Amino acid sequence: MNKEVIINISGLQLDAGTEEPIELMTTGDYYLKNGKHYVIYDELTDDSQVVKNRLKISPKIVEVTKKGASSSHMVFERGKENLTYYDTPFGSLLLGINTSKIDFEEKEDSMALHIDYGLSINSDHVSDCSIDVSIASKQQEHSECTDSAQ
């Protein structure tokens, strides 16, 4: 996979019968170190502040580190609940992440990740969530678009 990648993130938060979808498409940097995949990208908040994100992906554990207006270090590990603080400008929340499923598929120029997890805030379960992340080499993404146009 090339250093420059296109990242597509889509998620769904199921909360008391309502669904709250999230979608993000951005570019970032990829590298492989000690058998783990790293993806670094920036995200803009609703009030135009930058949050630096780092995904650290291995087949059994996924870590998401956010630094900026909101900061956290979330660990997704199947069958375990991991606790972390989610720091916001308004204070900190204790998040519990109880991961039930991690699917990871790796190809030469792309990766796909799916995670199902339960989310609790200050020990109260608030929602069941799923997230899908696809990562593709920037040149690969471009050539696929060009190939399909012919």
Q: What is the DSSP string of 26-94?
A: EEEEEEEETTEEEEEEEEE-TTS-EEEEEEEE-SSEEEEEEEESSBEEEEEETT-EEEEEEEETTEEEE
Euclidean distance between the first and the last CA atom of the chain, given in angstroms as a whole number: 24
Closest CA to 112 of 136, 139, 95, 128: 136
Distance CA 148, CA 150 (A): 5
Calculate ∠ Cα 133-135-141, nearest 5°. Answer: 130
Question: Given this model, what pLDDT does residue 17 score?
Answer: 65
Distance CA 115, CA 76 (A): 8
Distance CA 74, CA 84 (A): 6
Q: Could you give phi then psi for residue 107, rounded to 5 degrees?
A: -120, 180
Question: Given this model, what pLDDT does residue 69 score?
Answer: 82
Q: pLDDT 10s per residue in the chain (150 long)?
A: 789 999 999 998 877 667 778 899 999 999 999 999 999 999 987 788 899 999 999 989 999 999 998 899 999 999 999 999 999 888 899 999 999 999 999 999 999 999 999 999 999 999 999 999 999 998 754 444 444 444
**Eight-class DSSP state of 121:** E
